[in-house]
Amino acid sequence: MKEKDIGMLIKQLYDAKVKRANEQLKEFGITFSQFRLMIYVRECGGKKVSLKEIERRFCLTQQTVAGIIKRLEDKGFVLACEDEVDKRVKNVSLTAKGEESCKNAIDCYQKSQHLLTRGLSQSEQQELYRLLTIVLENVNL
């Protein structure tokens, strides 16, 4: 019996989304991974965000987060500095250049998001989101 592999389909969908996003975000000098982290820092309302918070939020290793932040810092998009209270903690904040880049890249990203659900009605989009949320919860049990 040949069974459909839903997990593989989800992975292929995600990989295709990341590939397209990387192509579109190239003009802003960032990758999809970098963009996601920048948006998270931006959505934290201007407060400094620790590398640990980013690791937990995105389920990434310390090395991965440190590498992404280092590249963003080298490009002038973020500033990473020691916490004033606990020197072991490193905090990240967006620079003016990072904020501007985020604003410009968001429209591009939203267009790619709409491609995912092109041809689906609003109720179908909501149902797809509901079903995918259930699938995610099943995996995280």
The tens digit of pLDDT for each residue in 83-131 reads 788 888 889 999 999 999 988 888 888 887 888 899 999 999 999 999 9
Q: What is the DSSP string of 55-123?
A: HHHHT--HHHHHHHHHHHHHTTSEEEEE-SS-TT-EEEEE-HHHHHHHHHHHHHHHHHHHHHTTT--HH
pLDDT at residue 1 is higher than 60: no
Query: d(Cα 86, Cα 103) in Å, to the nearest integer?
Result: 31
CATH of domain 6-139: 1.10.10.10
Domain ranges within the chain, ordered by starting residue: 6-139
Task: Give residue 2's pLDDT.
Answer: 64
